A and B are shown apart, each in its own frame.
Chain A
């Protein structure tokens, strides 16, 4: 099929089999390798992206399901001038990223969480990230980072804009 969709605000097309995993379309056809594969069965969340604002595991989404959709990946978090999104900045400052392989998915899950709930409490943050496995941090610094991002000026605005 000729897949037409919008990725990080840009219109993109790709000639792909309709059942090709969105993860592979992003990584192979669009060279957006920021989205990672950890398990290939929707357990680890490393491949999480936003599909029309909703958090999905891109390893479980077929290309045809993304037809006409708006996809946002980790590459689309930064502002056009290269300024980091407040969530990225908070992860960096708080030590929320160690080996970094879960980070793209974790950032997208955090963005989805803050879009739905701009001031989450600790248990809401933990609940919101429960679909994303991290083997390095024990989650403490990630939870702190999301809480810090929620408090950061401009977090709400840029998150909302990004998830539409």
Chain B
């Protein structure tokens, strides 16, 4: 039953020395705590004297807030209540600091979406807090709301990417194929809900405000709290507790929650725990942006793409949050890993009166990848081409340019992943077998679907240069090293792979490197834990810091740097270095090693320092009585530079593929009056072990010369292409066209019956 996997290096990769720790499957750093139940997640923290905090939320999509009245018959003496008026009185800035500065912590005048926070309550127990909330009367005057993003007129952000001249390409075209594709929301559905514990300002520590909880980006919270309270960042101390999954859902939202908890802690003078239950987490927090992507594609007789016109429209929800950045990544990936000289990509993200959409693994790329990869199958069908052959003729080769004109040295990895996955999935033989099987089968049909995709590593354009992230290592007696970064562990393996990178750099054993969950009082700002940047970007900075340590220690010991240390020599040198008063801290800062250049105004140039590439094949069986889809097999080839920890890399890819299949098949957010109507795991359907198929992975490794030991970012890549691959497989099985996900049985039935009616009337 063990899944077989191939790992090979392809192409002209530079030869590298044999690694001792990198590339091995060392045990997860915090594994023992997690397996024994000792790991402390935010809900497990025993906080003496803490009160329970809760949020009172608006029922309307849009409304004027007329007044908040506390029932005078209720005993409010043991309750703290915070509203926007209190913030105003105290001179607090009622703005969740992010890109647009348009989102308040608490509604002051006008509600912009259902479940928006209107008041905060803290009481000694949850029951008392809930009782108090029932004694609060809030009056609203309902206002007309915009709930349909396709009709919405308020734009948060627009982008346009131009390459070549479309007007020249289309008149020359043998074929012009158009299509419009729609994708729905997706809930991150980490199994640990959002939760924060905040402590009141501590006069004994200079008024420090401490916050602990489940999060991806501790320094984002520092910035948000500093702005809210109008105090220096140094006074905010943010400590990550063991975090039960994030997937983007704990990127920006915890800023809001931490602000709420900190406000209540200050109001009641006690620690306050705010732990969302599943319903609150699902209805009130961010989701993947729904969208519509339209394609108009010009091709010549040989099936080569001459021109691509792509229009991306995303639903941002009620506030700007991260939407401009999501849109940016969406347009930058909208033309896919394909060669095309004439491209116009326009993108727009609009406002609706629904809870703000935000970061979710893939960050705009799954939306545009679904559209493009589904569209290419439609193109193939319309021009009478094999879908594989169509992609083969158009995928980028080494050194060819993307839509922004970026020449990517290893772009040919896109072709290599395609050929690898076709071979591994026995594409041609399976298709033949399906044709025969489908002729015999009465109630079931089988099909095969393909998707090719890529994902840029790290922040877009000049983002990493502006971030200028820092990481440090600390030398400890008698001879070990401690990693200090703000990158969070949320399951992906940050702590383990960082220890591997530092150990390998110094030539020390894995267990000589310590790691811990970030505490902003103890770690430098390594940037947020997002954008597939942790290993490839922060890991590289960390390797630089480890090299600085090696250099310092080697100079002290009078030996050549860059040589693996024996434990004895390392301990000796450490003892003497530290005894001599040597500084134990070695820092490094992002240095733009790839010399990336991007024009942020015209959206031209090196959008990303590196790309990881993938091709995925999905095999399905569709039941024609129930239109239920069974995914029989997933085969995926992913080029990731270098797997620092192969088993964790597999885990990332497998988990991402499962999320992508869920989004493509059954994760449907049903919106009613702008509010999620199925905000519970009973009717928002996540893939179970039975729904998720065996996943056969092929790793390709073309080392990225500026990543640590060749690693590229891989966290989001697997999320990007699973949905189009599975929908293409359904379309193949039934001979139908599907342009919307999730492809629920109802939608598949509709497509099938439409096809039957057309055939019948013809």
Determine if A35 and B41 form an interchain contact, defined as CB atoms under 8 angstroms apart. Answer: no
Q: Is A127 in contact with chain B by the CB < 8 A criterion?
A: yes
For residue A9, CB closer than 8 A to chain B, the reply is no
State whether the Cβ of B747 lies closer than 8 Å to any Cβ in chain A: no
Known contacts A92-B35, A97-B28, A135-B190: A144-B657 contact under CB 8 Å: no
| Chain A min CB distance to B751 (Å) | 27
A97→B31 contact, CB < 8 A: yes
Among A32, A46, A73, A88, chain B packs the most CB atoms within 10 A around the CB of A88
Given known pairs A31-B46, A147-B1, the reply for A103 and B245 (CB within 8 Å) is no
Of the candidate stretches A36-44, A63-71, A156-164, the one touching chain B is A36-44
Which B181-198 residues sit within 8 Å CB-CB of chain A? 188-193
Q: Could you name 21 residue pairs across A and B whose Cβ atoms are closer than 8 Å? A: A32-B37, A33-B44, A36-B244, A38-B681, A41-B681, A77-B36, A95-B651, A98-B492, A98-B651, A121-B1, A122-B1, A122-B694, A127-B689, A129-B688, A135-B655, A138-B695, A139-B654, A139-B658, A140-B692, A141-B650, A144-B3
Known A92-B31, A97-B34; further 8 A-B contacts with Cβ < 8 A:
A39-B681, A41-B680, A44-B681, A101-B191, A134-B689, A136-B651, A138-B657, A147-B2
- Which residues of B, 1-20, contact A by the 8 Å Cβ criterion? 1-3
* B residues 640-659 in Cβ contact with A at 8 Å: 647-648, 650-651, 654-659
CA distance A72 to B670 in the complex (A): 38
* Minimum CB–CB distance for B69 against chain A, Å: 31
Chain A, 117-156, CB within 8 A of any chain B CB: 121-122, 125-127, 129-144, 147
Say which residue of A40, A78, A99, A129 sits within 8 Å of B191 (CB atoms): A99
Query: Is A55 interfacial (CB 8 A cutoff)?
Result: no
Interface residues of A in 78-115 (CB under 8 A from B): 78, 84, 88, 91-95, 97-104, 107
- Chain A residues, Cβ within 8 Å of B654: 137-141
| A18 in contact (CB, < 8 A) | no
CB distance from A128 to the nearest CB of B (A): 8
Question: Which residues of chain B come closer than 8 Å to A35, judged between CB atoms?
Answer: 37
Partner of B28, one of A34, A95, A138: A95
Contact, CB under 8 Å: B681 / A133:
yes
Expressed in whole angstroms, the minimum distance between the Cβ of B605 and any Cβ of chain A is 35
- A138 in contact with B242 (CB, 8 Å): no
Q: How far is the CB of A54 from chain B (nearest CB, A)?
A: 19
- Contact residues of A: prevailing secondary structure: loop
Contact of A140 (CB < 8 Å), options: B30, B40, B278, B650: B650
Cβ–Cβ < 8 Å partners of B690 in chain A: 126-127, 130
Docked pose: A46 CA to B686 CA in angstroms: 14
- A129–B694 Cα gap in the complex (Å)? 15
Alpha-carbon gap, A84 to B27, bound state (A): 14
- Residues from chain B with a CB closer than 8 A to the CB of A140 are 3, 650-651, 654, 692, 694-695
> Is B243 an interface residue, CB under 8 A from the partner?
yes
Complex contacts, B25 vs chain A, CB 8 Å: 95
Task: Let me know if A75 is at the binding interface, CB within 8 A.
Answer: yes
Contacting A43 at CB < 8 Å: which of B39, B43, B682? B682
**What is the size, in residues, of chain B's interface with A at 8 Å between Cβ atoms?**
60
Is there contact, CB below 8 Å, between B35 and A129?
A: no
A42 to nearest B CB, angstroms? Answer: 8
A75 cross-chain contacts in B, Cβ below 8 A:
36-37
Residues from chain A with a CB closer than 8 A to the CB of B686 are 133, 135
User: In the complex, what residue of chain B is closest to A37 when comparing beta carbons?
Assistant: B43
Contact of A99 among B35, B490, B658 (CB under 8 A): B490
Contacts of A122 in B (CB 8 A): 1, 694
B491 at the A interface (CB under 8 A):
yes
CA distance A57 to B78 in the complex (A): 34
When distances are taken between beta carbons in the complex, the residues of chain A under 8 Å from B28 are 92, 95, 97
In the complex, the answer to whether B192 meets A136 with C-beta atoms within 8 Å is no
How far, in angstroms, from A141 to B697 measured CA to CA in the complex?
13
Contact with A along B480-498 (1 / 0, CB 8 A): 0000000000111100000
Q: How far is the CA of A40 from the CA of B275 in the complex (A)?
A: 13
Contact B689 A129 (CB under 8 A): yes
Q: Hey, which chain A residues are within 8 Å of B41, CB to CB?
A: 36, 101
Find chain A residues with CB under 8 A from B40 CB.
Answer: 33
Nearest-CB residue, chain A, relative to B242: A100
Closest beta carbon of chain B to A145's beta carbon, Å: 10
B689 touches A34 (CB 8 A): no
**Is B511 positioned at the interface, with any CB of A under 8 Å from its CB?**
no
Inter-chain contacts of A46 with B (CB < 8 A): 191
Bound-state CA distance A129–B692 (Å) is: 12
Chain B residues with CB under 8 Å of A127's CB are 689-690
Given contacts A43-B680, A75-B37, A140-B3, whether A99 and B689 have CB atoms under 8 Å apart is no
A51 on interface, CB distance cutoff 8 Å: no
Q: Which residue of B lies closest to A98 (CB)?
A: B491
**B599 interface residue per 8 A CB criterion:** no
Q: Is the CB of B651 within 8 A of A135?
A: no
Q: Measured between alpha carbons, how far is A102 from B242 in the docked complex, in Å? A: 13
Q: Determine the distance from Cα of A38 to Cα of B191 in the docked complex, in whole angstroms.
A: 5
Closest Cβ of chain A to B723, distance in Å, is: 14
Contact B655 A137 (CB under 8 A): yes
Q: Across the two chains, which residue of chain B brings its CB closest to A141?
A: B651
In whole angstroms, what is the CA distance A112 to B684 when docked? 27
Q: Does A74 contact B (CB under 8 A)?
A: yes
Known interface pairs A99-B192, A127-B690, A141-B647; A40-B277 also in contact (CB < 8 Å): yes
The distance from the CB of A40 to the nearest CB of chain B, in whole angstroms, is: 6
In the assembled complex, the Cα of A97 lies from the Cα of B245 at a distance in Å of: 11
- Asked if residues A84 and B192 are in contact (CB atoms below 8 Å), the reply is no
Chain A residues in 8 Å Cβ range of B34:
97, 100, 103
B191/A133 in contact, CB under 8 A: yes
A23-36: contact bitstring with B at CB < 8 Å (1 yes, 0 no)? 00001000111111
For window 664-679 of B, CB contacts with A under 8 Å fall at none
A105 to chain B, nearest CB (A): 9
Count chain B CB atoms within 10 A of each CB in A32, A103, A131 and give the residue with the most: A103
B125 to chain A, nearest CB (A): 11
Q: Which chain A positions have C-beta within 8 A of B490?
A: 99
